[in-house]
């Protein structure tokens, strides 16, 4: 019995240590000194590492400070390696990766875990396979360390979230750009091929002119000389201004919506109290002695659902009446209605 108790105590200590390390590495808590130190250290080391990589490409800096750059790379990679294996060790604290083997394998496939691996992989490839040509190319992967900052930057996470949420609109815009590029480049090929066969030799070659004109960059290396070609090129330039403004507008509107949603999460209640989203909703039915039969339990659940739906409907109507003019986005109104609903459930223990 005493041996079993010791084993149980050791397991509890290990779990407790995992939980503490998990909280430090996975959560950015400015009030916790170790969590704040981890955030600052990762950000500083990432910035120093990328800066050293950029300066290393300059012959002047590389010749004078080559040893310093090597030491920076060794220490930074060593720190990131320890951090990478620590994250693999503590990931089982998260219920999604609870299984000690399959859970860790699932975690290794997540985008941030892949970024962590890519951040340290070039150094070890260079150490173990110094003669291979492709290793020189993999050194560029060190720039992926910049993505590690996204774990600690709320702004970067917001931008990524906006791009994911608006992916359908962005894909639709990309398809329009591709269609316009192919169509106009084909027209320009038939218009200019006779006058400039060396520059407009095929539709594929003409697409370079299309990209330069559509983006309004205008390098000047390829340009039309015929009157019809000039007219077509002018129309293409004006069209490019409108087309490439679309993605910027989509991302800007998505960013504004995301900022509004965050403001909704803490809105002053009409009686002066702050409404905050609750992470847990009161359980529907407890195993209570009041419900002796399964039929009674079903009836109690049905009554709760009916009552709950009426409350939710009332919350939606209230949100639309009171905040419909302030927030034009329907999703934001729904979010606010859910906050009202959760607050009602919490107060009245329905």
The Cα–Cα gap between 336 and 331 comes to: 9
User: Is there a domain that residue 32 lies in?
Assistant: yes
- 143 plus 173 within the same structural domain: no
CB neighbour list of residue 102: distance below 8 Å, 6 or more residues apart: none
- 24 plus 131 within the same structural domain: yes
For residues 4 and 300, the model is more confident at 300
- 192 plus 325 within the same structural domain: no
- 212 plus 99 within the same structural domain: no
User: Is there a domain that residue 159 lies in?
Assistant: no
User: Is there a domain that residue 257 lies in?
Assistant: no
The total number of residues shown for the chain amounts to 350
Give long-range contacts, CB 8 A cutoff, 24+ apart: 337-341: 337/312, 338/277, 339/264, 339/265, 339/267, 339/275, 339/276, 339/277, 340/275, 340/315, 341/311, 341/312, 341/315
User: Is there a domain that residue 97 lies in?
Assistant: yes
End-to-end CA distance of the chain: 45
The Cα–Cα gap between 180 and 271 comes to: 56
What CATH code is carried by the domain that includes residue 90?
A: 1.20.120.350
pTM of the model: 0.56
User: Is there a domain that residue 198 lies in?
Assistant: yes
- 49 plus 145 within the same structural domain: yes
Is the pLDDT score of 348 beyond 70? no
- 191 plus 98 within the same structural domain: no
The C-alpha angle with vertex 81 and arms to 112 and 90, in degrees rounded to 5, equals: 60
Structure tokens at 158: 């917001």
Owning domain of residue 53:
2-152
Closest CA relative to residue 48, chosen from 25, 29, 23, 65: 65
- 275 plus 196 within the same structural domain: no
Query: Whose structure tokens read 């309004």?
Result: 216
Q: What is the mean pLDDT of residues 324-344?
A: 67
pLDDT of residue 281: 39
- 75 plus 52 within the same structural domain: yes
pLDDT digits (tens, 9 = 90+) for 102-151: 999 999 998 888 888 888 888 888 888 777 666 666 667 777 777 777 77
User: Is there a domain that residue 258 lies in?
Assistant: no
Residue where one domain finishes, among candidates 90, 118, 152: 152
Residue where one domain finishes, among candidates 118, 152, 186: 152
Is the pLDDT score of 202 beyond 70? yes
- 175 plus 292 within the same structural domain: no
The structural domain count of the chain equals: 3
pLDDT of residue 35: 81
pLDDT digits (tens, 9 = 90+) for 67-102: 888 898 899 999 999 999 999 998 888 888 888 899
pLDDT of residue 296: 62
- 13 plus 110 within the same structural domain: yes
C-alpha dist (Å) from residue 311 to 114, 185, 346 = 44, 59, 13
Q: From the CB of residue 153, how many other CB atoms can be counted at a distance below 10 Å?
A: 15
Q: What is the mean pLDDT of residues 178-201?
A: 90
SS3 267: strand
Residue where one domain finishes, among candidates 196, 215, 247: 247
Is the pLDDT score of 283 beyond 70? no
Q: Is the Cβ–Cβ distance between 5 and 111 less than 8 Å?
A: no
What CATH code is carried by the domain that includes residue 187?
A: 1.10.287.70
pLDDT of residue 7: 55
- 128 plus 172 within the same structural domain: no
User: Is there a domain that residue 252 lies in?
Assistant: no
- Categorize the per-residue pLDDT at 183 as very low, low, confident or very high, splitting at 50, 70 and 90: very high
User: Is there a domain that residue 254 lies in?
Assistant: no
pLDDT digits (tens, 9 = 90+) for 297-328: 666 666 666 666 777 777 777 777 766 655 55
Burial class of residue 285 in the structure, from the number of CB atoms within 10 Å of its CB (0-12 exposed, 13-18 middle, 19+ buried): middle
Q: Is the Cβ–Cβ distance between 93 and 16 less than 8 Å?
A: no
Is the pLDDT score of 287 beyond 70? no
Q: What is the mean pLDDT of residues 188-212?
A: 90
- 6 plus 119 within the same structural domain: yes
């Amino acid at each position: 019995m005493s041996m079993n108790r010791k084993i149980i105590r050791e397991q509890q200590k290990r779990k407790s240590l995992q939980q503490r390390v998990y909280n430090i590495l996975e959560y950015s808590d400015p009030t916790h000194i170790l969590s704040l130190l981890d955030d600052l250290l990762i950000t500083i080391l990432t910035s120093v590492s990328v800066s050293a990589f950029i300066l290393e490409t300059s012959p002047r800096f590389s010749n004078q400070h080559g040893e310093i750059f090597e030491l920076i790379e060794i220490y930074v990679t060593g720190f990131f390696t320890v951090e990478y294996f620590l994250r693999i060790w503590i990931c089982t604290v998260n219920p999604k990766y609870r299984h000690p083997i399959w859970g860790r394998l699932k975690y290794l496939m997540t985008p941030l875990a892949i970024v962590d691996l890519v951040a340290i992989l070039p150094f070890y490839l260079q150490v173990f396979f110094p003669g291979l040509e492709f290793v020189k190319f993999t050194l560029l992967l060190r720039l992926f360390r910049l993505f590690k900052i996204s774990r600690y930057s709320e702004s970067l996470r917001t931008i990524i979230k906006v791009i994911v949420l608006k992916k359908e609109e962005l894909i639709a815009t990309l398809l329009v750009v591709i269609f316009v590029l192919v169509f106009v480049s084909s027209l320009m090929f038939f218009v200019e091929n006779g006058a400039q066969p060396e520059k407009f030799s095929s539709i594929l070659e003409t697409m370079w002119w299309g990209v330069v004109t559509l983006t309004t960059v205008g390098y000047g290396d390829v340009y039309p000389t015929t009157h019809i070609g000039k007219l077509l090129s002018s129309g293409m330039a004006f069209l490019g201004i409108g087309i490439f403004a679309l993605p910027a507008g989509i991302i800007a509107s998505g960013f504004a919506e995301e900022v509004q949603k965050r403001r909704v999460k803490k809105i002053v209640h009409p009686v002066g109290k702050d409404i905050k989203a609750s992470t847990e909703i009161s359980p529907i039915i407890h195993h209570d002695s009041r419900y002796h039969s399964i039929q009674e339990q079903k009836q109690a659940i049905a009554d709760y659902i009916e009552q709950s739906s009426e409350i939710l409907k009332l919350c939606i109507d209230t949100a639309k009446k009171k905040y419909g003019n302030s927030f034009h986005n329907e999703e934001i109104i729904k979010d606010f209605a859910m906050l009202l609903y959760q607050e009602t459930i919490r107060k009245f223990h329905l």
